[in-house]
Amino acid sequence: MVLQLSKLAMALRLQVPLEALQRHVAASPVVIGEEIANYVYAYARDMHLNYYPALDYFSNETSIDPQLIEALGNISWVVTGMVRNEIRTRMRPVFSAIQYESIQTLVFTMPSIRPGHADSLPRLVQHFTADVVKVNLNATLIQHFQDARFAEKMAESMANRWLKPHFVDVSVGGVKFLG
């Protein structure tokens, strides 16, 4: 008898509860996010930009406090570790193997917010608060499915069911049956 497995690729977006995160870091993710958001907001306004640059844009900027960026990096490191451990713990009953392709906080990506919107500053603060993680992973099910669409729907449903109680927000961006 040959054991047939189903392999799936999944894209997840998970928001960690701030209370859980604050137990593991010295600096408040919200305070750090507010400071950086205020700087990015003022910079885009002063330079008449039609976008808010990604944080990497400011790596050579001397006017932004390098300790803020370092603190944000440290918080990001902690939150990605928390997410990795939580996924492994919660999804282990469902998937026989989980392999991470990428895991990153959204703070180092370009904000999808545009200047000129009435709520752009609060949304920038939300973007630069290191509590949202994007995860791309490959997962293996012991069950083999012939119907790819059914396998994808089942994996999405299982991810939501097993992760939602442990995160503020769970979004399954996509599931792809690999065989």
Q: pLDDT for 63-76, tens place per residue?
A: 788 889 899 999 99
- Nearest Cα residue to 138 out of 98, 111, 176, 107: 98
Terminal CA-CA length for the chain? 18
The whole-number average pLDDT for the span 106-112 is 93
What's the CA angle centered on 33, arms 14 and 42, to 5 degrees? Answer: 130
* Domains of the chain, residue spans: 6-177
What is Dmax (Cα atoms) for the chain?
68
Q: pLDDT for 115-141, tens place per residue?
A: 988 899 999 999 999 999 999 999 998
Whole-prediction pTM: 0.88
Beta strand 97-105 pairing with 6-15: unpaired
